[in-house]
Amino acid sequence: MIKKVTVITHPLVQHNLTRLRDERTQPQEFRRLLGEIAALMTYEATRSFAVKKIAVRTPMEKTTGSQLEREVVLVPVLRAGLGMHDGILELIPHARVGFLGLKREESTLRAHFYHKSLPKKLERCEVILIDPMLATGGSAVAALDFLSEQGAKNIRLVSLVAAPEGIRRVCKSYPRLPIFTAAIDRQLNSVGYILPGLGDAGDRLFGT
Ligand code: PRP
Ligand code: URA
């Protein structure tokens, strides 16, 4: 199960993650660090994108090069996913962007949709689902179910911090889904927060 999960151990990723975890990091700095780490994680998360060979003429001669085979669609989960999508867009500026609004109910920890807008023809695209926190996995599974219903076939999940409980839940429903994270943390607490985690990502990002 765990072999589909890639933990990105690059020193710059781990450096930024530690600053994001730090309770003293304020929203302005948190936003900057989250954008930067998302861009760094994108290199690893997109490494297996399909490419096709194409002919290209340099000013000197003809040669062959590579082109992405499929269009790329980014799908940040609102709100906290917004903090990562800018950084990823900087590396893939031609990507289209969809949005899924999901809110976890505090008492039940069940995720409810409040917004859905996706580009068309997802079946032809590489879809990157973006959510900094994978806690119980309820939000990720709800988002993946909806993306699958809409025809998406090539999906990968980028989550900054993952709990073992969330990974297990996502892998149970989507055993072939590649997951990219900067850390698999110890556990969830009794109210569904990741330990050690970084607190409430949305609140820290937007200062709420
Ligand atoms: C947080 C986080 C994830 C979700 C993870 O969002 O950004 O989307 O919780 O938890 P889960 O794996 O248990 O579903 P939240 O619902 O708090 O909304 P927010 O981003 O607007 O703060
Ligand atoms: N959502 C967050 O923002 N943080 C957690 O630790 C769990 C869910």
User: Has 86 been annotated as catalytic?
Assistant: no
**Residue 2 pLDDT:** 44
- Asked whether residue 193 is domain-assigned, the answer is yes
- Asked whether residue 60 is domain-assigned, the answer is no
Domain count, the chain: 1
- Asked whether residue 61 is domain-assigned, the answer is no
The domain in which residue 74 lies consists of 5-49+68-206
- Asked whether residue 132 is domain-assigned, the answer is yes
Marked catalytic residue, from 47, 145, 186, 200: 200
State the chain's mean pLDDT as an integer.
96
From 107, 110, 133, 191, the mutation candidate for ligand 1 (largest count of ligand atoms within 8 A of CB) is 133
Per-run averaged pLDDT (10 residues), the chain, 208 residues? 82 98 98 98 96 98 98 98 96 97 95 97 97 98 98 98 98 97 98 98 95
- Asked whether residue 143 is domain-assigned, the answer is yes
CATH of the domain at 145: 3.40.50.2020
**Residue 126 pLDDT:** 98
Helix, strand, coil shares, percent, the chain, to 5: 35, 30, 30
Q: 103-110 contacts: CB < 8 A, separation 24 or more?
A: 104/135, 104/136, 104/138, 104/139, 104/192, 106/191, 109/135, 109/136, 109/138, 109/192, 110/138
- Asked whether residue 187 is domain-assigned, the answer is yes
- Asked whether residue 45 is domain-assigned, the answer is yes
Pick the ligand that lies closest to the CA of residue 166. 1
Pick the ligand that lies closest to the CA of residue 131. 1
183 lines ligand 2 (CB under 6 A): no
CB atoms within 10 A of CB 80: 23
